[in-house]
Structures are given as C-alpha cells and as structure tokens.
C-alpha cells in the first residue's frame, strides 16, 4: 500500500496561532493572565479537563465574572481537536490535519450551535456558527454494490395522527431502502411506540431493553437487521445493537425524524465544519477564552482532597512532571468517565454514593484514521456507512466541504483530498488478517480499513484507487504495545448500554457542596456521548454552581429535545398506563 503512518507525539497541541499566539502562553503552567476586576474573592473555579465540556464550563463561568483555570493534560478541545501531523508541511505550507474522528453537527443540536454563535470569527456575522455547512446526502454502501443514496435535505410533512405517522414513516423507509412493506410498517410502529411513551417508561422499561430486543431484529429480514438494527446503532453510538439502550437509540431516532421537516431544529440534518475543527472552531474559541482571562494549565488531574463536605484541592502533575495541589472555591470535573471514576475516594463516595455506579458504565472504542489522497474522491456528498464492514466503518471525504482550508494548500502540495474514516468496532476480526483492530499493528489497521472500504466500492473502482493513496494517519490516542500484541486507547467512548441510565449521576449532589460534574456521562436530556451532551452537562453544572454560590447572574440556556406535539396527548395517556403496569397503547404483538 502506498503511504505510511505519520508519527506525532502525544503532546501535540493546537497548531498555528496556538503555537505562535495567545494560547501558547496560556497552556504553560503559571502563564500570566489578564487581570479581571469582576472576579471577586470566593469565586475561583478549577475546571478539571479541557475538552468541549471543560471549555463550555469555562466560557459560561468567565462570562459571569468567575476566575477560571482549566487543567488539561494534552490540548484544549480534547477528542474534538484536530491534530497537526508534524513534518508533513513543506514549501511554507502548514502540516496536514489529522483528527480523532470526523465532526458531525446534526440539526437537532442546540447547545453547541448556541456557543458557536458567541465565538467571534472574522467575516462571519454569526461567529463560528457560520462555518457549518450542510451535507446534502448520505450513502449506505454494500459489498454487493446495491448502495443507497439518501437525500439529507428538507423532506415530507409533519404527521397529523398516529396512523399518519406509521404510513408516512413506513413509506419513507420502504422507498429509500427498498425494504419490504411489512418490515417497514413494523419498524414505523416501533418508532411510534417509543415516540408515544412517557418519560417514566423511557427511563425505566426502554432503558433496560436493548435495541435489538426492542425492534425484534431476530425475527425480521436480513435487510432489517443490517440497516435498522446493526448499522443504526453503530452509526449513533458505536455500540452493538444487542447492548445499546433503547432509550438512547429511540431518543436519537425521534430527532432524526423531526429534523428533515425542520421541526425543533437549528439547521439542516447533517452539518460539518468548512475546515479543520481547530481552525474553524476550537482555536477561535481558545482565543476568546484567553481574552476573557481564562488560564489554561498543562496538567493531569490525579486526585481530589476532601475536608468535611468540600473539595479542598486537586492533585495534579503538570507538564514538567512536578506534582502539586491546586486549590479553588469550586471544582468542575469535566474529565471523561474512565478518568473521573479513579478520583472517587471512599470519603467522596460516602457523600455521593451514587457515583459508585460510574464504575459499571461501559466505554468502548470509536477512533478515526485519515487517508490522504492525490486526487479528489467522489464517494458521496456526505457521510458514507459501509454496511457490511466487519469494523463498522463510516467515512466522509473532507475536501469538498473545506472551502476555508483546502488540502491542496497543506502538506507537500500533492494531497488533494482526505477520506476521514471512523472505526466503530475494534473487537470483530477483519477480512485481511482475521484479527480485531485492537490486535492489529497500525500498519495492519490501515491496510485492513482500506481493504474493507474497497470491498464496498469495488463496483466503482475509480472511487478509491491504490495509486491515489498518498499517506495515512491514525489517531495518536491509539498506541501499539508490541509486548502485549495489542493496542491501548486513552480516548475511549462512553456507550449507553441497556440499564445504564440508573448508573449515571446528576451534575451535583448537595452533600458534596463544591464539586460539579460536567461530562457526557452525567444525566442529560440529549442522553448521548457527544459534544452536544458534553455542552449540556457543562451548562447544567454551571447553573448548579450559580445556585450554590447564590449568584444572581443569568443561568445558562438549556434546550430540550424535539417531540412531535401531535403525539403529546398519547404520551400523557401513557403516564397512567405505565404506572398501572400496562403496555403502551400501540405496543401490539408483531
């Protein structure tokens, strides 16, 4: 295979303006911070973690006059950041961009777009939000070549009755997927059951039910199982359909149904940034935070110190390897769940025993690899799902959307496109080496992914040609251990498995006064491990902090998920039915 892995250190941080400008000074421990007369004594906040949740919390708190310091072990943006590939830029061109995985901003996101509108960007009336562009279609590719191209634009109308819902949705499914009418109508009815279920049923019965059991995939056609059970869950949550919570998948399905009809949405269903995530969003955000007086310290959080009902300090190891304890009046814990649960001491758990449930939450891998191409590819004008791929691959050809930073102006000048691929299943054996991705070397991963892509696109050999491959880049969070013969991953993804809602904590507990949780594992309305979930959790945590502090500052804006108004009377009826042990009124036997 042409191309080779491009190495990068784990400490690579935001490129360009970061290295030369404001953020470069901020990430050094003890960097000078502009004075702020508005920061009163008793209003110092330590934000532990600088991903989307940590940056959101810092942003909201700084706007309200708090003195904020972010402690981040690598770089602002966390898993969302772009990763510069060192040494790839020549002739005055910047390095190529790599990413943990491609960014996706569904139209039903509200918290992230609200923040984007408040981040200035030169030439944009609506700030960073104007850097979002719509993807007009999605492709579902098969090894048989019988691919589906589905438009992502505005479509249909809002249904008027439950019967209308079933007929409209089943017709759309059978038309777009060529699925049999019986299966399509059955699935539409399962969606109707969920959409007319009350909150108590969703939080209990449906959260404890796996998606495959809920839709009865074992009794349906192969087309049904592949598209509506397996592919749907791996696309949304990188989980197997026999493990994923129906509450989570159902919530997302409800949003995707409403979005094309422009019901309760912020924009088109499928949106991407018009450049690398760092260039188009995170760097302007970091500049804004720096200008607001937010400090950023390169440090890893190792522990929390407790006295009475208050956290008195956070133990950190800074960028130089030195250990120390930092104090603050309030602590916002914005690290991911696999890190957070290592911080809960017996004393902390005695005050918030529900935090013990985080040790039972499941994390898995969903990680990206980028293939840099010498010619542009025309696979799809949007995202592609490779339905039969053992590793549950999805991809996006980025250059068609990157009008701000085209690939021709990066690297050595010969790269014309980048196929960014997400690997959602790291546990299933592949087709080349018969090993799961976790047990493949990085070179084997690149070859395996390339082979799985080509197996789906073989009927159109011009879409992906070996001669076009320039090089590739695998997310640096994945590291190969030759002695163990397997990979490690420092950036796993929370998976909402059946029954996990009860294990997830709220952002604050009154018995632990000054600790607030702001990450996608806490209970949120969006109920999904996403940037949107992280933003919602951070805003909720800040609102709780304002309550505890007795602040009269405006609370952070929170948004709710879309629900069809015409079905609300049936959800109200379901409250009494669920309380009395009855099934949903539309939940008839198959």
Mean pLDDT of 294-309: 97
Percentage of residues in the chain with pLDDT exceeding 90?
Answer: 74
pLDDT at 12: 35
Residue ranges of the chain assigned to CATH 3.50.50.60: 17-80+276-360+498-549
Name residue, tokens 């589906």: 148
Beta strands 137-141 and 384-386, pairing class:
parallel
Pairwise CA distance, residues 115 & 289, whole Å: 12
Rounded mean pLDDT of the chain? 89
Percentage of residues in the chain with pLDDT exceeding 70?
Answer: 90
CB 72 within 8 A of CB 300: no
Residue 352 has pLDDT above 90, yes or no: yes
Name residue, tokens 């040494």: 87
Element (H, E) at 24: helix 22-26
Instruction: Tell me which of 153 and 393 has the higher pLDDT.
Output: 393
Name residue, tokens 């959260």: 207
Question: What are the b/e assignments for 335-371, b being 16+ CB within 10 Å?
Answer: bbbbbbbebbeeebeebbeebeebeebebbbbbbbbb
Mean pLDDT of 383-391: 93
Instruction: Tell me which of 431 and 178 has the higher pLDDT.
Output: 431
pLDDT band for position 263 (cuts 50, 70, 90) = low
- Give the model confidence (pLDDT) of 154-170 as tens digits: 666 677 899 999 998 89
Tokens of 363: 């994390």
Sign of torsion over alpha carbons 436, 440, 442, 446: negative
Instruction: Tell me which of 425 and 12 has the higher pLDDT.
Output: 425
Pairwise CA distance, residues 129 & 114, whole Å: 8
Instruction: Tell me which of 430 and 236 has the higher pLDDT.
Output: 430
pLDDT band for position 144 (cuts 50, 70, 90) = confident
pLDDT band for position 475 (cuts 50, 70, 90) = very high
The pTM for the full model equals 0.91
Task: Kindly state the DSSP code that residue 287 receives in the 8-state scheme.
Answer: H
CB 115 within 8 A of CB 53: no
Beta strands in 374-482 (DSSP E): 384-386, 393-397, 417-423, 469-474, 478-481
Q: CATH topology for 17-80+276-360+498-549?
A: FAD/NAD(P)-binding domain (3.50.50)
The pairs formed by 426-433 with CB atoms below 8 angstroms and a separation of 24 or more are 426/364, 426/365, 426/367, 426/391, 426/487, 426/489, 427/364, 428/390, 428/391, 428/392, 429/390, 430/390, 430/391, 431/390, 431/455
CA distances from 9 to 44, 321, 477, 520 (A): 33, 16, 10, 27
Torsion angle (degrees, nearest 10) of CA 259, 262, 263, 268: 40
SS3 282: helix
Beta strands in 308-411 (DSSP E): 310-318, 323-326, 330-333, 362-364, 367-373, 384-386, 393-397
CB 404 within 8 A of CB 82: no
pLDDT at 239: 75
Compute φ and ψ for 75, nearest 5 degrees: -150, 150
Mean pLDDT of 253-266: 76
Beta strands 330-333 and 515-517, pairing class:
parallel
Q: How many CB atoms lie within 10 A of CB 502?
A: 13
Residue 237 has pLDDT above 50, yes or no: yes
Pairwise CA distance, residues 534 & 70, whole Å: 16
Mean pLDDT of 462-481: 94
User: Shortest CA distance to 135 belongs to which of 119, 125, 150?
Assistant: 150
According to DSSP, the residues that pair with 386 across neighbouring strands are 141
Tokens of 305: 């110190």
Tokens of 95: 């390095």
Residue 79 has pLDDT above 50, yes or no: yes
């Amino acid at each position: 295979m042409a191309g080779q892995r491009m190495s990068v250190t784990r400490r690579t941080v935001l490129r360009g303006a970061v290295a030369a400008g404001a953020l470069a000074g901020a990430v050094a421990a003890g960097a000078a911070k502009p004075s702020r007369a508005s920061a009163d004594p008793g209003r110092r906040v330590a934000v532990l973690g600088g991903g989307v949740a940590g940056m959101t919390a810092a942003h909201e708190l700084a706007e309200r006059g708090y003195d904020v310091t972010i402690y981040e072990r690598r770089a602002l943006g966390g898993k969302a950041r772009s990763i510069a590939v060192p040494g790839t830029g020549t002739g005055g061109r910047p390095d190529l961009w790599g990413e943990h995985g491609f960014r996706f901003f569904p139209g039903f996101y509200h918290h992230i777009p609200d923040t984007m509108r408040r981040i200035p960007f030169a030439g944009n009336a609506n700030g960073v939000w104007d850097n979002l562009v719509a993807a007009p279609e999605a492709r579902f590719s098969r090894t048989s070549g019988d691919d589906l191209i589905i438009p992502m634009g505005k479509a249909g109308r809002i249904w008027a009755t439950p019967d209308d819902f079933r007929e409209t949705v089943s017709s759309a499914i059978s038309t777009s997927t060529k699925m049999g009418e019986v299966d399509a109508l059955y699935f539409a009815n399962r969606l109707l059951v969920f959409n007319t279920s009350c909150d108590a049923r969703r939080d209990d019965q449906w959260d404890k039910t796996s998606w495959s059991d809920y839709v009865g995939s074992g009794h349906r056609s192969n087309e049904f199982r592949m598209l509506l059970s397996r592919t749907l869950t791996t696309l949304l949550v990188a989980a197997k359909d026999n493990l994923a919570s129906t509450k989570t998948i159902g919530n997302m399905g409800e949003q995707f149904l409403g979005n094309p009809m422009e019901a309760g949405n912020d924009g088109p269903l499928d949106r991407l940034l018009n450049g690398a995530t760092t260039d188009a969003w995170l760097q302007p955000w970091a500049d804004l935070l720096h200008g607001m007086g937010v400090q950023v310290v390169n440090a890893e959080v190792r522990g929390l110190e407790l006295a009475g009902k208050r956290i008195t300090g956070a133990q950190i190891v800074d960028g130089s390897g030195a250990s120390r304890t930092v104090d603050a009046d309030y602590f916002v814990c914005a690290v991911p769940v696999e890190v957070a649960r290592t911080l809960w001491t017996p004393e902390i758990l005695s005050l918030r025993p529900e935090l013990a449930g985080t040790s039972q939450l499941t994390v898995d891998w969903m990680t990206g690899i980028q293939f840099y191409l010498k010619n542009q590819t025309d696979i799809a004008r949007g995202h592609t799902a490779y339905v039969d791929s053992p590793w549950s691959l999805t991809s996006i050809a980025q250059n068609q959307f990157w009008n701000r930073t085209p690939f021709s102006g990066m690297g050595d000048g010969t790269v014309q496109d980048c196929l960014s691929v997400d690997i959602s299943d790291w546990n299933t054996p592949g087709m080349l080496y018969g090993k799961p991705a976790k047990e493949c070397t990085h070179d084997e991963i690149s070859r395996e992914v390339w082979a799985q892509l080509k197996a789906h696109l073989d009927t159109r050999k011009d879409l992906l040609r070996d001669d076009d491959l320039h090089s590739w880049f695998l997310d640096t969070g994945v590291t190969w251990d030759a002695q163990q013969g397997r990979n490690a991953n420092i950036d796993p993804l929370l998976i909402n498995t059946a029954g996990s809602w009860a294990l997830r904590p709220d952002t604050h507990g009154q018995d632990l006064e000054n600790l607030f949780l702001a990450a996608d594992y806490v209970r949120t309305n969006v109920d999904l491990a996403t940037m949107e979930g992280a933003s919602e959790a951070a805003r909720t945590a800040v609102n709780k902090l304002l309550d505890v502090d007795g602040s009269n500052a405006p609370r952070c804006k929170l948004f709710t998920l879309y629900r069809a108004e015409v079905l609300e009377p049936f959800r109200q009826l379901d409250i009494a039915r669920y309380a009395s042990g009855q099934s949903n009124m539309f939940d008839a036997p198959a």
